[in-house]
Amino acid sequence: MSSAILNRQPLGFPWVTLDPSLFCVHHDRYPAGNGSLGPGASLAGREIGNDFAGKDGWRTHHGTEVPGFPSHPHRGFETVTIVRKGLIDHADSLGAVARFGYGDVPWLTAGKGIVPFEMFPLLEVDRANPLELFQIWLNLPAASKMAEPHSTMFWSEDIPTQVEIDADGRTTHISAIAGGLAHVNAPLPPPPDSWAVRSEADVAIWTLPAAAGIDTKRSLYFFKGASIVVDGETLESHMALELRGTANVEFVNGDVESEFLLMQEKPIGEALAQHGPFVMNTRQELQQAFADYQRTHFDGWPWPDDGPVHREASRDRFARHVDGQVDTRSAPLATLVDRRPARVSECNGQRASKSLDFDALCTAAPESLPTARKPVTKPKNIRRQTSCVFAYGAGRPLHRHACREAAP
């Protein structure tokens, strides 16, 4: 009988994926913060603004003070961001704004174009700031490349999960981000133009486990643990495995806890033209994407700087959607133990008048949440100079990010 393992590769950065997945990364463990939401460790030896080397086990990416990804364009694909530990601050050109983490999963369809940012605020100053997340890029079929952008938030409390206990009392925890799984409640609905909406696409994203379709591809990422046995074969290093979709595969763990990400989907099977965050079908469409972004900045950027992290100390989560609806979720209890509100650091000569009040933040009225300004289209190759304060409530200044010139 042939092996269920069709291919294997060591895990790198990014992880290797199969059509329609384009990209998958597994992010960082940060040191203690410096009190201004950036890393307290030395930045010597890093290429600030383009730090991807992984020195000391973490990266600042395109951030200059706070790690993360200031405003950048997307077109023609989707992002699924599974945040297992830590918090992420988000805003986008549609006017949505959020802080999420602790198991939350935002699913963003870029469609015809959107400009998001994701910054990684390091709130803890007396301990490390672990940030564990997967970001998966999913291609869109040609018919959906120019769909309206759409964002969906899967709060961790709402994601279907299952705990299996074997005869020896060992447990397996399964979270189903997309795709049905036996004994697990139906998954939350993906965005309306997603490839995952189509039943024949057979899309599934599980943080552990026969596919419904004979053409379905499966990728298993073994990223934590010492060893596992997959279909009778022992693996003693972290691997990306392509599995036979029609096979029932048995996993046997080694002596220590292991963790996996399992993705499956039927390939879209269309021509692919990609340059960075633009994913189209032809070179002509790719050139049009660049031209549209240079001309319109995808309908403008409504925020006063490129990476306005939320400068308060709250570990609570929230999302204000494009339609104005506000969702708020409390932080897990374990993250609030021995915590006291911290003063906001000075910005443009302004200072918060008092320490932040966690109770007030938990019950904040929608009008106290960050508000997008009227969109302003950025002309081609014009540097935006700004020193304004992005306020979270009265007297609570946020991070000022250095302005960058538009991409050519």
pLDDT in tens, 63-109: 999 999 999 999 999 999 999 889 999 999 988 999 999 989 999 99
User: How far is residue 76's CA from residue 282's CA, in Å, rounded to a whole number?
Assistant: 11
User: How far is residue 211's CA from residue 181's CA, in Å, rounded to a whole number?
Assistant: 10
Q: Give the residue among 74, 103, 61 at the shortest CA–CA distance from 207.
A: 103
User: How far is residue 74's CA from residue 84's CA, in Å, rounded to a whole number?
Assistant: 23
The percentage of residues in the chain with a pLDDT greater than 90, rounded to a whole number, is 29
AA letter at 401: H
Q: Give the residue among 246, 214, 220 at the shortest CA–CA distance from 233.
A: 220
List the structure tokens of 133: 């997340």
List the structure tokens of 178: 């997309």
* Contact (Cβ atoms closer than 8 angstroms) between residue 122 and residue 39: yes
Domains of the chain from N-terminus onward: 7-208+294-408 (2.60.120.10)
Mean predicted confidence (pLDDT) in 181-206: 75
Tell me the pTM: 0.69
**Beta strands of 3-159 (E only): which ranges?**
5-10, 21-26, 29-30, 68-69, 77-85, 87-92, 97-101, 105-109, 116-119, 129-130, 132-139, 150-154
User: How far is residue 44's CA from residue 41's CA, in Å, rounded to a whole number?
Assistant: 9
Cis peptide before 20 (omega within 30 of 0): yes
* Contact (Cβ atoms closer than 8 angstroms) between residue 243 and residue 218: yes
Provide the pairing of β-strand 251-253 with 21-26: unpaired
Top-ranked range on mean pLDDT: pick from 189-203, 258-272, 278-292: 278-292
Q: Give me the pLDDT at residue 76, please.
A: 95
Handedness of CA 81, 320, 34, 401 (dihedral sign): positive
Question: In this model, does residue 284 exceed pLDDT 80?
Answer: yes
Q: Give the residue among 260, 266, 251 at the shortest CA–CA distance from 217.
A: 266
Question: In this model, does residue 286 exceed pLDDT 60?
Answer: yes
The half-sphere exposure of 376 on its side-chain side, counting CA atoms within 13 A, is 9
The DSSP symbol for 202 reads -
Mean predicted confidence (pLDDT) in 40-44: 92
Q: How far is CA 125 from CA 39, 56, 235, 330, 366, in A?
A: 9, 18, 38, 21, 29
Least confident segment among 130-134, 195-199, 240-244, 249-253: 249-253
Backbone angles phi, psi at 195, to 5 degrees: -60, -30
Mean predicted confidence (pLDDT) in 11-31: 80
Backbone angles phi, psi at 45, to 5 degrees: 85, 5
Is residue 269 packed enough to be buried (19+ CB in 10 Å), middle (13-18) or exposed (0-12)?
Answer: exposed
Q: Give me the pLDDT at residue 165, please.
A: 80
* Contact (Cβ atoms closer than 8 angstroms) between residue 123 and residue 37: yes
User: How far is residue 389's CA from residue 217's CA, in Å, rounded to a whole number?
Assistant: 48
Continuous H helices in 33-182: none
Least confident segment among 37-41, 121-125, 246-250, 361-365: 361-365
pLDDT in tens, 295-343: 988 888 888 778 778 766 677 888 888 888 888 888 775 454 433 333 3
Q: Give the residue among 217, 209, 206, 213 at the shortest CA–CA distance from 267.
A: 217
